[in-house]
Chain A
Amino acid sequence: MFAYQLRLAWKSLRRNPGLSILSVVGIGLGIGVATTFVTTYYMLSGNPIPQKSDKLFYVQLDSWSPERSYDRDHPDLPPDQVTYRDMAEIMKSKIPTHAGGMFKADLTVHPAGDGQKPFRQLVRMCFADFFPMFDVPFQFGSGWDARADAGPEAVIVLDDEINRKLFGGENSVGRTLLIEDREFRIVGVLAPWKPLPKFYDVTNDPFDAPEGIFMPFNFVRPMEINTAGNTSNWGDGSGDGFEGFLQSETVWIQMWAQLEDEEQVQTYRAFLDAYVNEQKKLGRFPRPINNRLSPVMTMLKDQGAAPEEAVGVLIIAILFLVVCSVNLIGVLLGKFLARAPEVGVRRALGASRRWVFVQHLVECELIAVLGAVLGLGLAALGLELLNRMFEAQFAFRLDLPMVGAGVLLALVSGLVAGIYPAYRICRIAPAMYLKTQ
């Protein structure tokens, strides 16, 4: 029966191609615009690491000034980063499955080969755990191990983009690269990896791509590497010289831990509280204990990473689809009622009202599905256009859930637009049309 109705619907669309195209294009445009901005909103405020976001915890300690809170607008929040000495101490804990402090640096890379100019490159200083903790994908080689952390050994990991730039995308594992005044051996090359937002460091440009090079954190001392990210301090300021900076109360490091279950979370929390209490005896941590372990999504909400404009655009895009649906009602109404004589005959020949109603709804949904195909194409195009306009800052794309969302939006708007016209046409009195023929 359904196949028959579908065939009838298709025939009906074929009969008046101009009008059919108009209705498909109209609703397709609405689906296209709505899907594009539902996708941008979903990606900007979405979960960048869904498979383990509830096991990854951002660590914050309130080491701030006794006189005022770190964030005046949110006095309950501790500083968004930690100090070097606290990071170094809590890294000694064996409780988390993985853990590590990290920061962003800006270093000079000297490519080998003649005529290649040196350039500045953003580098993520991190520990071996960074890669397994964040499920970072590799195309060649792997990350480094704890021994390389301790050394530190002169090893680095490149991302796909910089590997293309420097080595034409070949397997560069085992080759070396001169950074600042040191030779580093490449041990791994990442597969393309662009978590959105860049959740592991939302203090510094949350929507930028990850850094192109990853280097063992402990080079910070021998190479006196400064952060290229945000630093905040209070009291004695940022200390004298580089060692003074490391020992100061300046917060500048992002600290993460992977904890598997509630028990592990509680144990780690107790460890952090005990650490802060011990430090209080040394005269540090003048504020009440306020340690935080925030899972990824809580942290993103606390730090307000999603841009407000995305919400506004989302609302406008959904309303756009509503207008397109209302438009479709008008078109369908005209189309169906023009066909009243034919429906009159069908009714006289025994078709029930219900059948006529369903038949016309099937036609609406067929239009909606065709609209969805067009709309998803438009959305893919729209997202690509946005990526270009944003100069590759984002990597918006349609994934399976968003294709599903687009189809769902289409089916719902087809249904909403179709109910009234289908109702009107199934209510016509057959007698009148039989008379005039």
Chain B
Amino acid sequence: MSGLASRPTAATSAAKIARSALSCAFVALGLSGCDDGDSPLSSGTELLVVTGYLFAGEPVGEVDVSVTVPLDSESEVAPAVNDARLVLTVNETSYELELALGDSGRYAYPAGDLTVMPGDALSLRVERGDMVVRAATVVPPAPVNLTVSAERLVVEPDTAFAGFGGFGRFARQGEDAGETLTVSWEAEEDARYFVTIENVEADPDSVESLIARPPGSFASPLMRGNSLAIQSLFIGFYGTHEVRVFRVTEEYAALEAFRFQNLDELAEPPTNIENGLGIFTAFSSAVVEFEVVRPD
């Protein structure tokens, strides 16, 4: 039997070490009992937010630059960034954008004569202090073979109360009198489009109506199809209307899908802004016209 008395000398030394080590551990607590009390909301990193939409065939428009707002900020208005350097590269040729208005955070190409075309590769570099964000996109192809089913759309003034079947009457009018136009185009698989309808008259006559009609312009939601039916209900004015079908990029389609954020889930739209947030994208469009007329 070996008892405690027979421990080797090394163990005695080890005992001292162990006692010291255990003591050290308890001394350490005296150094660590404080609470910094920092707000967890102040730890967020400020990020640049870029919003840039370019349209094929049109002069390069404005690119907005702002920053994220901390959650504990008194204001939810995003501060505009006016001291950034923006460089737009179109097919490997770079152009510097300049602040367009005083305190707007809005940048544009000063000469106003730079346009982009379908298929152009675009990239944007935004520098602000140590922050550098990049984004890239390709101008999508424009919709092709855009046609409208009729050149004229007859819209009857709606000055009499139609009863509870009023909306049905409008629908029937559209079917019976042929007062629905269909705009169609060749759609590519998985491509997304949206359609705008705009009265281009300088001083158009409005459609007399008891119900609220849309203003002079209308924009459809994003859609996958290859056609859109334009009913007379969409129309608020007589005269020439321009129908423009826009092809959008995947990044814009993704942003649209997250238009309303659920604050319980916090799903955010994907972004093509590297090291930042927002979107930089381009649109291509095709246009066709039709006339809105009164009944004969």
Check if A and B associate: no
